[in-house]
Amino acid sequence: QSALTQPRSVSGSPGQSVTISCTGTNGDVGGYNYVSWYQQYPGKAPKLMIYDVSKRASGVPDRFSGSKSGNTASLTISGLQAEDEADYYCCSYAGSYLRVFGGGTKLTVL
């Protein structure tokens, strides 16, 4: 059971769109529609943003959207705002009652 692969960092200017990828295998991301995304500010607990690949958690702006193609899930943030600067983690069901996280992506708003 290996961690899902995310880019270490992504960046974008205010108003732009950015996409963070999360690549796994047929045994996790590709095999189930149970991918979730979490936003984490420094020193704070993670916050659920997206679950079941594309469903927004309560109170999450519709600028945040999720999708999946094959073994890769994606989080897209449109209309980038300064407050979106944070770390983002994906997580997937990995079969046999197991869960696996991605390594995390640091989003910088230029």
Residues near other proteins, by CB under 8 A: 1, 3, 34, 36, 38, 44-48, 51-52, 55, 57, 89, 91, 93, 96-104
Nearer to other proteins, 16 or 26 (CB): 26
Q: Which candidate, 92, 32, 42, places its Cα nearest to that of 102?
A: 92
Minimum separation from the CB atom of position 48 to other proteins (A): 5
Query: CA 28, CA 14: separation in Å to the nearest integer?
Result: 33
Residue 35 or 80 having the CB closest to other proteins: 35
Query: Which residue, chain included where needed, has tokens 């945040």?
Result: 64
Question: What's the min distance (Å) between Cβ of 103 and other proteins?
Answer: 5
Q: Which is nearer to other proteins, 5 or 78 (CB)?
A: 5
Minimum distance of other proteins from residue 28's CB (angstroms): 12
Distance CA 83, CA 60 (A): 13
Closest CA to 50 of 36, 63, 62, 33: 36
Tokens for 81, please give them.
């705002």
Q: Which is nearer to other proteins, 17 or 64 (CB)?
A: 64
On whether the CB atoms of residues 98 and 1 are closer than 8 A, the answer is yes
Please report how close the Cβ of residue 36 comes to other proteins at its closest, in angstroms: 4
